[in-house]
Structure 1
C-alpha cells in the first residue's frame, strides 16, 4: 500500500481524508500573463476580494474543499496572496512551481541546463516559494507545444526529475490540447511514473483515441478548461468526457475551469470557478453520470493524483 503524505497547502499540511468535498484540479487565483497589450490575462491585487468571495460561495453552496493553483515561475505567481485568499475563503489551496510553455519562460530558463533547472525547482520545494515559506504541493503547469521546443524539453525533464526526487505530482500545459503523448513519453522517460502525471487541456483536443492512450498508460487526463466556450463548446467537452468514461477510464479524469483572465470571474461577468458545478456537472448528470461518479471525478481522482494513492486507497 502506498504511503500517503499529507497534501501541501499554502496554509500547511492537509490530510487527504479531511477533504470531503469537491476539488478544482486546475485553477489560477494570482496570475500575470499580460503581453502584446492583452490586459485581461491578469488576476491581481484588485481582484483578490472577488476571488475569495467566489470561492467562499462555492464552499457554502457546493462544498468546495480544495483548489489546485497552477501558476508557476514566470506566470506572476504570488504565494502570499494565495495564502490570504485561502484563509479568507476557508478553502484549501495547493501552490505550484515549474515553468509554463516557452513564450512565457523567464530569462533563467535560457541560461540553465537540466541540472540547474532541477535545482531551482527543488529549492522552491524545500525552502518555499519566493521567500514566503509556502511550499508547493505540485509541479505545474509545465508547458509544451505540440512538438516541445528544446527549452521546453529541458524544462519538462527537470520537472520530472524534481517531481521524482520530491515525490510530488506534475501537471502539464499541452498547448491547445496537443502533444500530450510526447509529454508523457518524455516525463516517464525521465523517471516519473505515469500515475504522478496529469496531461493538461485535453478537453481542447477532439481526439478520443489520444485520451484513451494517455489514460491506458496510467496518466491523468485533464478536462480543465470547462466553460471556455470560444476554445471549445461544453457540448463537445461533454461528448469527449462521456466517451472516455464509456471506455472504462473514469479513474483517470480530472475536471476544472482554468480561470486565467479577470473577465472570467463571476463578479466581472464571466462564467467563474463554479461553472463546473452550476452548468457542466448538471449536464453530465442528465447524460447518466451518477453521484458516485461525480465524486470520483471531482474528489477522489484529484486526491489520488495529489497523493500518489491507488484506486484501492481512495
Structure 2
C-alpha cells in the first residue's frame, strides 16, 4: 500500500503552519520576552508588561514594510520565557512566532540540571515538546538556544547538549545553539551529531562574532547552518566585519547554510529606546549586502527559505 510522507510543519505559538505559507522573511534568532538580569540593573530584560507593546509595534511595522513572516524566539528555560506573552505578541503583530525549549549556557542553568542526568533532562524536554510549556498548552517548535561558552562545553553544558540532541531525535525538532562569542561551534556540532542529530537540523549560533572564515566553511560543509545572528550589535563586532565574513561564506558556495538575525536581548536595543531594533537587518545590513553584489534571490534564500528548511527539515521544493 502506498503511503504519503508527512508534510513538514512549522509549529508556532498560535498553531501549526505549512512552511510554504510563510512568504516573507524570517528573523532566525530573536528574543521578544527575556530576563537575563543577574546584575540587578534591569538591562538584559524584555518584560512583557513594560516592553511588550513596543516589541509588538516593531514586529507589526516590519510586517507592513518588509513582509516579515516569522520570528524564531529562542528564549528557553531559565531565560525568562513566557509562552502566553509570545502568543499575545504574535496575534497582535500578525507575525508567526516559534517558541523554544532547552537550556542556555552554564551561568544561566536552572537547578534541575545539576540534579538530573542526561536521560532525565531529555525526558523533561520531550514532555514539554509534547504537552506544552507550563499550563499554556503552547508547544515549542525548536530546541534552543542551547548554550556553551569557551572552545569546549563544560560538563554541565555537555549534559544539556546531549539532552537537547536526544530530544531532537525523539521529537523531530531542530537545534539552535548559543556559541558564546562564536567560540566552540565545532565542538557543539560534534556532540550533537554524535547523538544522532542530522547536520541540516542544527544551527550553530553567533558565528558572526568569530572572525574565522575557515571555521564557518567547515560548519557549512557538514550541512549545518551558520548563524550570523547578532547583526547590528556593534559593541561586539562591526557590521562591516560581519559583511566581509558573510561574503566569504557566500563566495565559498554556502548561501544555503546561512541564517541571519539581530538577537535583540535587552530593552535598550528597541527602537523606542534608541536602539537598532529588530529591523536593523532589513533597514541597514541587507542594503549593504545588496550594494556588495548580493542579489534578491540570495537574500530570499538566506532570510526565508533557510530558516524554514532549518526548522522543518523540508526540501527546497516544499518551501
Q: Shorter-normalised TM-score: what interval? A: over 0.9
Which of residues 105, 110, 125 is equivalent to 2:109?
A: 105
Partner of 1:286: 291
Partner of 2:146: 142
Whether 1:29 and 2:32 are equivalent positions in the alignment is: yes
Q: Distance in 1 between matches of 2:83 and 2:76?
A: 10
Unaligned runs of 5+ in 2: none
Deviation, structure 1 residue 234: 0.2
Q: Does the 8 Å contact 2:20/2:318 carry over to 1?
A: no
Partner of 2:59: 55
Which of residues 190, 208, 211 is equivalent to 2:213?
A: 208
Whether 1:255 and 2:260 are equivalent positions in the alignment is: yes
Structure 1 residue ranges, 4+ long, deviating more than 4 angstroms after superposition: none
Q: Does the 8 Å contact 2:174/2:201 carry over to 1?
A: yes
Whether 1:187 and 2:195 are equivalent positions in the alignment is: no
Which of residues 76, 83, 100 is equivalent to 2:80?
A: 76
Q: Distance in 1 between matches of 2:260 and 2:109?
A: 26
Whether 1:177 and 2:177 are equivalent positions in the alignment is: no
Q: Distance in 2 between matches of 1:22 and 1:86?
A: 15
Q: String of CA shifts for 1:111-164, please: whole Å, max 9, x gaps.
A: 010000000001110010121000010000000112100000000000000011
Report SS of the residue matched to 1:230: coil
Report SS of the residue matched to 1:289: coil
Report SS of the residue matched to 1:148: coil
Deviation, structure 1 residue 37: 2.7
Structure 1 residues 229-248: aligned runs within 5 Å: 229-248=234-253
Q: Does the 8 Å contact 1:79/1:134 carry over to 2?
A: yes
Count of aligned residue pairs for this structure pair: 314
Which of residues 10, 15, 26 is equivalent to 2:13?
A: 10
Whether 1:127 and 2:128 are equivalent positions in the alignment is: no
Q: Distance in 1 between matches of 2:258 and 2:315?
A: 14
Partner of 2:44: 41
Q: Does the 8 Å contact 1:2/1:309 carry over to 2?
A: no
Deviation, structure 1 residue 5: 2.3
TM-score, normalised via structure 2 length: 0.97
Q: Distance in 1 between matches of 2:303 and 2:169?
A: 25
Partner of 2:301: 296
Q: Distance in 1 between matches of 2:170 and 2:214?
A: 32
Deviation, structure 1 residue 312: 4.8
Q: Distance in 2 between matches of 1:2 and 1:25?
A: 26
TM-score, normalised via structure 1 length: 0.98
Report SS of the residue matched to 1:236: helix
Q: Distance in 2 between matches of 1:307 and 1:6?
A: 6
Structure 1 residues 270-281: aligned runs within 5 Å: 270-281=275-286
